[in-house]
A = this chain, B = another copy of it.
């Protein structure tokens, strides 16, 4: 655990520090933390004693904002500060990212989300010694209101996003103070993890510490970018589908019967009876299609009581679900979904370029590649590619996770795409409601889709005929009474239809080339984690 340790990885010259220098600095930082606490006490005394401080109205702890008054001032966005504002005096609200005091001056870095600027509190006609002392005692991560004059700098401020200017502080008020000891340091949590251990530039924060202290961890530039990108995935998903005539619906998460036999389903106490959490909105999407909504999508929680402790499983995740009636061939569905994915990929690339860059600074990844139209492989082709590369598998075997990844690499090499669709899965490995292939009794009209070799969508043409559905359920040895209402849904005229379910966190993770799904779930849930 690196809590209570570490500080900026850059030296006072703005250059990365050697390991030795870093260790030394860490020790100093620990000392400094103790000092800071001491100083905080002293600051109170300073305030009490230096009543004749000429600057005393220009700094301090502001009263709790209860909406009691509205000062006549405009708070500007830090990211707008540059040389064109040279000489202007502005107010802003920001976090104190770091501070370093040296005699009569205190260097601070202010942060707003992913943007940072250097500030200087230095003794002058406006700033008193007491004010500099006060500035030095403000704890990191505290929120402050600052009035300062923007001044062009001679040499670029390497450690900040606003490199051409610094802020000469004239007033400084603490709006919300952070406790002096942070459970993790933003800088540690922001440090790139290189594969070579020796290449590391300083302490990093392990995942459980991050997640246990998620409200601080989420403040890193990388996390700010990741969750903005994730919001973008949802937006682009909806834009693409609305343009194709889809209606957004909402489906219940509390259901009376566990679908597909009841494995891996969470049980809920429902008044005097019991219920379950939906493992998928599929039945409800299909009912909406049988109810003439023609094309629907839904975004919502998906719950899986699987005891899978892997880099890509969550017990609760966000499902992006699509279902549509088609005319004669389920490839109509594949086409719509493929177009949608390309819209998402292109939209992320074009609208979130700066966020993607930010993430790749900490977690380097190759840019995501895709083809237009997307590549569609048939299952037997995939099996052949694997066999040609030494994998032994039967025609009707499902792909194992390692084989999926391997196939992803083979596809990337051959077709130069990180996204593809795998069509015509063996009937035997798909759920009972999957439409059999009319031309090949061992195949089915079903598909998975992959990003960087990992599955992100599973879908199919569904059986819309109640008799065939019964026949297939029997073949799967599913007791009919558990699925009777599902079967009944198709008894009053049902159009041919298909669709698929997408895991939001997986799409975000794989688009960005991240290694763990917990990085793309704001408050992840797995068999071992229920908090925060």
Q: Mark A residues whose CB is within 8 Å of B.
A: 64-71, 75, 93, 95, 112-113, 141-143, 175-179, 182, 214-219, 223-224, 227-228, 230-231, 234-235, 238, 242, 247-256, 266-271, 273, 275, 277, 284, 287-288, 290-294, 299-301, 303, 305, 307, 315-316, 318, 327-331, 435-439, 445, 461, 464-465, 468, 485, 489-496, 504, 521-525, 527, 530-532
A287 touches B215 (CB 8 A): yes
User: Cβ of A66 and Cβ of B292 under 8 Å apart?
Assistant: no
Copies of this chain in its oligomeric complex: 2
CB atoms of A227 and B254 under 8 A apart: no
Inter-subunit contact A250/B175 (CB<8 Å) = no
Q: In the complex the two chains form, what is the Cα distance from A489 to B215 in whole Å? A: 7
Residues from chain B with a CB closer than 8 A to the CB of A93 are 327, 495
Chain B residues near A530 (CB-CB < 8 A) = 254-256, 270, 273, 275
* Contact of B253 with A316 in the complex, beta carbons under 8 Å: yes
Bound-complex Cα distance A136 to B437 (A): 33
A245's nearest neighbour on chain B, judged by CB, is B77
Closest to A69 in B: B328
Given A67-B329, A284-B523: 9 more A-B contacts, CB < 8 Å: A65-B328, A95-B493, A224-B293, A231-B247, A234-B248, A235-B248, A252-B316, A266-B269, A287-B523
Show 22 A/B contacts (Cβ-Cβ < 8 Å), sorted by A: A65-B496, A67-B331, A68-B439, A176-B493, A176-B494, A176-B495, A176-B496, A214-B291, A215-B492, A219-B292, A223-B291, A230-B250, A231-B247, A234-B248, A250-B522, A251-B522, A253-B301, A254-B277, A254-B316, A254-B525, A271-B527, A485-B532
User: Do A522 and B284 contact each other (CB < 8 Å), given the known contacts A247-B228, A328-B65, A531-B256?
Assistant: yes
Specify which of B143, B231, B271, B303 is in contact with A495 (CB 8 Å cutoff): B143
Residues on B with beta carbons closer than 8 Å to the beta carbon of A182? 492
Q: Which of A66, A273, A436 has the most CB atoms of chain B within a 10 A radius of its CB? A: A66
Establish whether residues B68 and A216, one from each chain, have CB atoms under 8 Å apart when the complex forms. Answer: no
Which residues of chain B are near A305, meaning CB under 8 Å? 270-271
Known: A219-B291, A485-B531. A254 touches B266 (CB 8 A): yes
Which of B64, B254, B315, B491 sits near A315, CB closer than 8 Å? B254
Interfacial chain B residues near A290, Cβ < 8 Å: 215
**What separation, in Å, do the CA atoms of A294 and B78 have in the docked complex?**
14
Given contacts A95-B292, A291-B219, A292-B218, contact A249 B522 (CB under 8 A): yes
Min C-beta distance of A259 to chain B, whole Å: 12
Q: Is the CB of B256 within 8 A of A491?
A: no
Give Cα A327–Cα B93 distance, bound, in whole angstroms. 8
Using known A-B contacts A141-B492, A522-B250, determine if residue A436 contacts B234 with beta carbons closer than 8 Å. no
In the complex, which residues of chain B have a beta carbon less than 8 angstroms from the beta carbon of A468? 64
